[in-house]
Structure 1
Amino acid sequence: MRLVNRVAVAGLLVAAGLLPPSAARQLPSAAGQAPPAAGASITAADLRREVAHLASDAMGGRLTATPGNEAAAVYIAEQFRRHGLRGAGAGGSFRHAVDLVVAAQDAGNTLQTRAGTEAEAAELSRDFIPAPFSASGSAAGPVVFAGFGITADGLEHDDYRHADLAGKVVLVLDHEPGEFDPQSPFAGIVTSEHGAAIRKALAAQRRGAAAVAIAPDVHNHTRWWTVPDLAGRFWPRSQPRVPRYQLAAWLDRVQIPVVRISASLAERLAGAAGRTLQELGAHAETAGGGTVVELPDVELEVTVRVRHATTPVDNVVGLIEGADPELRDEWIIICAHYDHEGVIGDRIFNGGDDNASGVAGLLEIAEAYGVAAAGGRRPRRSILLAAWNAEEQGLLGAWGYTEEPLAPLEDTVAVINMDMIGRSEEVPAGGGYRFAGLEPQTAESNRNAVNIIGSTYSDDLRAATGAANRSAGLDLRFRYDNNRSNLLRRSDHWPFLFNAVPAIFVHTGLHPDYHTERDHPDTLEYEKMARVVRLVYELSRDLAEGGPRPAFNPPAP
C-alpha cells in the first residue's frame, strides 16, 4: 500500500496551474524540412512523458468533478491547441459540456395496491423504492404485465404489440429474455442495452403508461436483487465517495413515476389475478415478445418525490478539419477517456494504464497530425480527437456526446477508442470478479498482442484495421465481442455502436493492477504502446483519405 501526504497532494492540485510539463516539446518548424514519415513523431519516450504527467500524484487520480480531473482537462486542451487543433466546442472552445445528475429522495414516497376489496400500503425500502431516474409525481391505474418491457425493432421483438397503455401502471421484469442463452438475439450471454431500466420506462411512457413498476427477473435467476439491497445502493444514508451520477439528457425525458418493487410484492399482484410471477416470466420469454397481460381488478397508486442536482462536466474536443470540401463534413473520431478513480484515504489511484495510456496516445496522434499539417499534408475527411469524461461512472461523457454530437452521427465514419493500451493482458487463475469470463493467460503470451473489440459490427472496419497494421506488426486479437466479461460495453466505443456507428475498442487487456493503486506509469510497456498508437494513427489516416465508408453490419442474432 502506497501512503501519501494528502495535504501535500491538495497543495499540488492547486499549484499545478496545470501548465504543460517543462519537458514538453515544441512542434518542429516545417521550413526547410522534408515532412517526416507518417507517425514518426509517435515515440515511446514521448508517451512515457505524457503518462507521467497525466498519472502524477498532482492529478489526484482524475476522479470526475474533482480538481485533478479539471487539471487533466486543462492540460489536454492546451496540448490540442499547441499541436494546431481547432477547438470543436461552443465558440471554438475545447470543451463539450455534459450535465450529470445526482438524485436524492424527498419525503412522501408512497405506494398502495388494491386487489378486489383488499388494499395494502407498501413499505418504502422494503417493498419498493423510487428509481433514481424517476420523475416526481403521482399516478394510479390498473396494473398490466408487459414482460420485459422491451421494444427492439431491429430484433423483431415487441413486448407491447400495439397495446393501449393509457392510464395504466405497467409491471415489467428487470433484464431481458434469454439472458444466459449464447444464441440470444439481444446480446448472447450478457445483458444488452435494451435491458436498461430507464429504456424500459421510456418505452412504456411512449405508449401512454401512467407509471412503471420494475420487478426482479425471477424466471432467469435463482437469486435476485432485493429492495433493501437496492435502497443501500441507490439511496445511501450518507454521501458516497463517488456520487451515483446519471446523464441529465436521459432523465429529462422521463415524465412518469418509476419504482422498483420486491419479488414478493410482484408475486402478490400476480396472485391477486390468479397468476404466478414464474408463469408471467415464462410468458415473457415468448419469441418476439409476449402480449400484454391484464391483471383484472388489480390497481396500484404511487407517489414519487425525488430531486435531481446537476453537476456540469466537460469532454475535451479538438478538430483537424479535412482538406477536401466534398468530404470534410464526414468525421472520424479518435478517443480516450481521461477520468479515473481518484483518491481513497491515503491511496491515490493514478490510473497509468487506465487511462493515462489512451490519453497519451491521443496527444501523440494530435502531434502527428500537427507535424503532417506543418508539412502540407492534411487528411481529406475531418478528424475529431475527443477525451471523454465520466467513463468510470458509466460511459457518461461518451453517451452525452451521442445525445448532443458536434456533427451528426450519420456523418461519423468510424470511431477508434483507446482504453488501457499500455500493458500486456494478464489474467490470473481464480482472479475474481474483475476477470469474470476471461481465460487465464500470462502477460508473456500477449507481449505482441492487442485486442480489437467491436469488429463484429463492421467487417469493413475490421479489414481496415488489419490493413493499417502493416507497419506496426502487432498480433491483432479480434475477440471479446460476446463474452461474459461484457468488455464490449465497458468503454466509450459502445455508445457509438449502439447508435449504429462503426466503432472499435483498441485494448491491450486487463491485468492484476487494473483498478488498483498499483496502476503506476512505471509499469507500462512504452515501446509496445508506441506501436499500438501508430496502428491507430495509420488506421485513422487510411479512413480519412477518402474511399468508401465502413458499413455497419451488426452480428446476426
Structure 2
Amino acid sequence: MRTILSACALAMLSACSQHPSNINDTTEVSFDENRFRQDIKILSSDEFEGRAPTTKGEELTLTYLSEAFSAMGLKKPNGKDYLQAVPMVTYTPSEQQQIQLGDLAVKYRQDIVLSSRHDLANIDINNAPLVFVGYGINAPEYQWNDYQDLDMAGKIAVILVNDPGFALPDSGKFNGKAMTYYGRWSYKFEEASRQGALGAIIIHDTKPASYPWSVVENSWTGAQQDLANTEQQSKRVKVEGWMTYNIAEQLFTKAGLSLSTVVDRAAASPINLALNQNASIAFANKAQYSNSYNVVATLPGSTRPDEQLLFTAHWDHIGIDPNKQGDQIYNGALDNASGTAGILEIARQFADQANKGKPLARSLTFIATTGEEQGLLGSRYYAADPIYPLDKTVAVFNLDSTNVYGRTLDYTIIGKGKSELENYLIDALKSQNRTAKSEKYPEAGGFFRSDHFSFAKKGVPAIFAGGGSEPVDEATAQYKAAMQIKMKGCYHNVCDEYREDWDLSGALEDLAIFYQAAATLGNNNDWPGYYKGTEFNALRPAKADAMQ
C-alpha cells in the first residue's frame, strides 16, 4: 500500500496546523514508506553481498542507484553516466600471521589485527622497538606533543584510543568529553606516519573507542581499501592495526609497567616511553588496483545552477567474510542502505516539484559515496577532486543510518554548535514540534566518522543529523526498547539486516526535515559558515565572524 504523507500529516501532531508547511513554496510533498522500505530491503539483500567496493555487490548497487536517478530524470554530471571513478587499491593481508610482541605470541583476530597499506608481497619486520606514545597526538594549539624528542624511524608506536579529554573531561584538556579529531584512529595512523614510524598499533578499549572488539575484528580483517595514491602510500607506516586491552596489559607488565597507571599519566600530560621490547611481524600481503565509484546525480537549479547543495550517503558496507562461520554477509541494512534509500526518497520529492515547474534556485546534487567504511574514501576523493567547485558548494547534508526506532520528540545534530547550517534544520523542526539536541555520546567522535567530515575539512558547512533519544509516547518507548535488544551488537556485524518490523515513521519525519532545510536554503542567497572557535572557522567563517 502506498503511504502518502504531507509535511503536516507526517508529523501527526495537532499543533502542526499552526505551522503551515513552507516546504518548497508551501507545496506539500509525499513520502512513500513502502518505496523507502523497498530500497532498504533490496540494497541490503543477500544478492548485493554486503556492497563491498570493487565487488559484484558494487556492480549491482551502481546499477540500482543509476536506474533510480535516471527514472527521476536527474542530470548525469559527466553527460554519460552517473559515475565518478574513485581510484582504489585493495590490500588483503594473509590470515596466517606470525606476530611476536616481546615474548608474547599473539593470535591474529583474537588478540590483534594488523594490515599494511603498502604494495608489498610480504611484510617482514624483525625486532622493531615498541614505543608507547600516549595518545599519539601532536597538537601545537593544545600545547601537546606525545612525540616530543622522539626519533620513530624503525620503531612501532603503541597508542591509546580517543584523546585526553575523554579521560579527564573536567580538566579543560582538548574538548572535554567530546572527542576531537585527534582522538580518531585515522589521525593516529596519519600522525605516526608523519613521525616516520615503521608501524602503529592502537590499544582497543571499549568505552573510549565507543565500540567493542568485535567491530575492530570485523572491520579491520580481510580486504582493506584505500585511495590509490603512490606518494601517500610510500609515507604510510608499514604496518598498522589494533591490539586488545588484555594483550596490552600483558605487554606493559612484561615491561615492568602498570598499563592503568601509564594511561593516567598519558591523560595528564604528553608522554612517551620505550617499552624495552621488540616486535616481529610477518605476513603475506596482496595489493590490487581498480576503480570503485561514487554515484552522482544533479537536479539543476533554475536561476543559480552553479551554486550547489549536496546530499550524501555512503552506499558501501563490509561485504562478505569467507572466514566467518555461519552467516558471512554483512548486509549493512541500517548502515547504510537506510541512508542511501533516504537520499533517493528526498531526490524523488525535489524531482517531482521540479517537474511541476517549481525547481529550486540552486542546484541539488545527490552523491552516494563509496568506501566510507574504509576511511571516508569516496567523499575524500570527491572533496579533493570535485565535480562541482567547492567554493560554489553551499552546504552538505549527510544521511548515515536513519532512525528505525520510531518517532521522537527531539532531533540529534552530531557536533551541534559547529556551523550556521544547523539553523536550517532547527527551523524546520518547528513544523513537527521537535527540538534539536547534541548527540548523547560526543565522546564517540561521531562528527569525524562519516562522509560530511571530508567536506568540513575543506571548509564546506556539512551536517550529520537525524533521529533522537526521546520516544514520542510510551508505546514507541516500549517498541524502541524491544528493537534495541534485537539490534544489540549489530553495528558492523552480520545481523545488521532489514527487518519488516522496523518502525520507519521517525525516519520519514527526518527526511521531511532534511527536505525543508534544503528547500529553504536552496531558494535564498545565504552562505552558512562555521562558528568561531570551531576547527573550520578560518576556512569559511560564520557571517558575524566574517564581518569582524
Instruction: Report the counterpart of residue 164 of structure 2 in structure 1.
Output: 177
Does the 8 Å CA contact 1:138/1:301 hold for their aligned counterparts?
yes
Instruction: Report the counterpart of residue 522 of structure 2 in structure 1.
Output: 544
Instruction: Report the counterpart of residue 34 of structure 2 in structure 1.
Output: 48
Rounded to whole Å, the distance in 1 between the matches of 2:435 and 2:313 is 19
1:554, CA displacement in angstroms?
A: 7.8
Q: Which among 490, 502, 519 is matched to residue 461 of structure 2? A: 502
The answer to whether structure 1 residue 553 and structure 2 residue 531 are counterparts is yes
Rounded to whole Å, the distance in 2 between the matches of 1:523 and 1:105 is 38
Q: Which among 56, 60, 65 is matched to residue 46 of structure 2? A: 60
Between 1:537-546 and 1:184-193, the stretch displaced more is: 184-193
Structure 1 spans left out of the alignment, 5+ residues: 1-35, 113-119, 237-242, 426-442
Does the 8 Å CA contact 2:164/2:173 hold for their aligned counterparts?
no
> By percentage of residues, which structure has more helix?
2
Does the 8 Å CA contact 1:106/1:307 hold for their aligned counterparts?
no
Instruction: Report the counterpart of residue 204 of structure 1 in structure 2.
Output: 192
Rounded to whole Å, the distance in 2 between the matches of 1:57 and 1:463 is 32
Secondary structure of the corresponding residue to residue 49 of structure 1? helix
The answer to whether structure 1 residue 362 and structure 2 residue 330 are counterparts is no
Instruction: Report the counterpart of residue 413 of structure 1 in structure 2.
Output: 394
Letter in 2 for 1:60: D
Instruction: Report the counterpart of residue 427 of structure 2 in structure 1.
Output: 467
The answer to whether structure 1 residue 480 and structure 2 residue 439 are counterparts is yes
Instruction: Report the counterpart of residue 136 of structure 2 in structure 1.
Output: 149
Q: Which among 52, 57, 62 is matched to residue 73 of structure 1? A: 62
The equivalences for 1:333-412 within 5 A come to: 333-339=310-316, 355-374=336-355, 378-389=359-370, 397-398=378-379, 401-402=382-383, 404-407=385-388, 412=393
The equivalences for 1:2-151 within 5 A come to: 38=25, 40=27, 42-44=29-31, 46-56=32-42, 59-60=45-46, 62=48, 63-65=50-52, 67=56, 70-88=59-77, 92-97=81-86, 99=88, 101-105=90-94, 123=105, 125=107, 131-133=114-116, 135=118, 136=123, 138=125, 145-151=132-138
Letter in 2 for 1:131: L
Work out which of the two has the higher radius of gyration on C-alpha atoms and give 1 or 2.
1
Instruction: Report the counterpart of residue 414 of structure 2 in structure 1.
Output: 453
The answer to whether structure 1 residue 167 and structure 2 residue 153 are counterparts is yes
Instruction: Report the counterpart of residue 331 of structure 1 in structure 2.
Output: 308
Does the 8 Å CA contact 2:128/2:280 hold for their aligned counterparts?
no
Q: 1:282 to 1:411 in 2, by over 3 A?
A: farther
Rounded to whole Å, the distance in 1 between the matches of 2:47 and 2:372 is 13
Does the 8 Å CA contact 1:148/1:173 hold for their aligned counterparts?
yes
Letter in 1 for 2:183: G
Instruction: Report the counterpart of residue 297 of structure 2 in structure 1.
Output: 318
Secondary structure of the corresponding residue to residue 165 of structure 1? coil
Between 1:91-100 and 1:315-324, the stretch displaced more is: 91-100
TM-score, normalised with respect to structure 2: 0.67
| % identity of equivalent residues | 25
Rounded to whole Å, the distance in 2 between the matches of 1:109 and 1:89 is 47
1:131, CA displacement in angstroms?
A: 2.6
Rounded to whole Å, the distance in 2 between the matches of 1:153 and 1:106 is 39
Rounded to whole Å, the distance in 1 between the matches of 2:327 and 2:249 is 43
1:334, CA displacement in angstroms?
A: 1.0
Deviations 1:257-290 (A, max 9, x none): 336674367437854xxx7656654443244x34
TM-score, normalised with respect to structure 1: 0.66
The equivalences for 1:256-267 within 5 A come to: 256-258=237-239, 262-263=247-248, 266-267=251-252
1:498, CA displacement in angstroms?
A: 5.7
Letter in 1 for 2:348: E
Letter in 2 for 1:80: F
Q: 1:173 to 1:107 in 2, by over 3 A?
A: same
Deviations 1:189-225 (A, max 9, x none): 466543344533331332333x23536489x99xx99
Secondary structure of the corresponding residue to residue 293 of structure 2? strand
1:520, CA displacement in angstroms?
A: 3.6
Alpha carbon RMSD of aligned pairs, Å?
A: 4.8
The equivalences for 1:408-447 within 5 A come to: 412-421=393-402, 423-425=404-406, 446=408
Letter in 2 for 1:544: G
Rounded to whole Å, the distance in 2 between the matches of 1:76 and 1:309 is 28
